[in-house]
């Protein structure tokens, strides 16, 4: 359960790190009289590449099981 929680946090961190602000100007003849900006996620394949790299370079941890209770610890 702890490993899953850690993995979820890492995933959220990678997604947040890839968020960029993108802006577009509106106006006559290219004048930027109105500027619209929004936050945009990184492309899915970029997030996937980053997560795969983190997975491949991660420290591998084992799981212990409480055999009497049948629970992982």
**CA 15/CA 9 separation, integer angstroms:** 10
Task: Kindly report the pTM of this predicted structure.
Answer: 0.65
Check residue 71 and give its pLDDT: 62
pLDDT-derived band at 66 (thresholds 50, 70, 90) equals low
**54, burial (CB in 10 Å: exposed 0-12, middle 13-18, buried 19+):** middle
- pLDDT tens figures, 19-61: 999 999 998 887 889 999 999 999 999 999 999 999 999 998 8
Location of structure tokens 């980053």 = 50
Check residue 31 and give its pLDDT: 87
Determine contact, residues 62/72, Cβ cutoff 8 Å. no
E strands present in the chain: 20-26, 34-40, 65-66, 71-72
């Amino acid at each position: 359960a702890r490993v899953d929680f850690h993995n979820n946090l890492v995933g959220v961190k990678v997604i947040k790190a890839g968020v960029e602000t993108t802006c577009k100007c509106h106006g006559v003849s290219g004048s930027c009289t109105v500027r619209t900006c929004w936050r945009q996620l990184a492309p899915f394949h970029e997030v996937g590449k980053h997560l795969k790299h983190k997975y491949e370079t991660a420290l591998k941890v084992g799981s212990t099981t409480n055999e009497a209770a049948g629970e992982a610890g």
